[in-house]
Structure 1
Amino acid sequence: MTEDPSTQYWYNLKTGQVEHGYQSPSVDRAGPFNTAEEAAHALERLRENSRKWAEEDAAED
């Protein structure tokens, strides 16, 4: 069963703050994350995912 995203943690891309639930507009949020700790490291995770996807795209060309 998937947890309700309105009760999970989000990283606010505009303020750099971790939020619990829907506190800011969706365009400013990354997530959801299960814990505040995971949300706090959102930018690292996003950078890593982008790097992996770029490598995969380059390998396909």
Structure 2
Amino acid sequence: MNKKTLIADTHDIFDAFIVNGLHQNYSIYCQFPFNEELINQHSYGENFDIEFNDGYRHQQ
């Protein structure tokens, strides 16, 4: 995984990162709290690291 972190400041940007597969190469930091509905909309594969501003971390 690349050392750079992508910043998602909106749900739309987060969706774009996931749809384009960027979560497989970069960590993602979301500038909004964890949202279970948002997380459940996507399939992430094997290698990802997503952190939300409330401290919740979704990773594998």
TM-score normalised by length of structure 1: 0.20
Larger radius of gyration: 1
The structure in which a higher percent of residues are helix is 1
TM-score normalised by length of structure 2: 0.21
Q: Which has the higher contact order (CA 8 A, sep 6+)?
A: 2
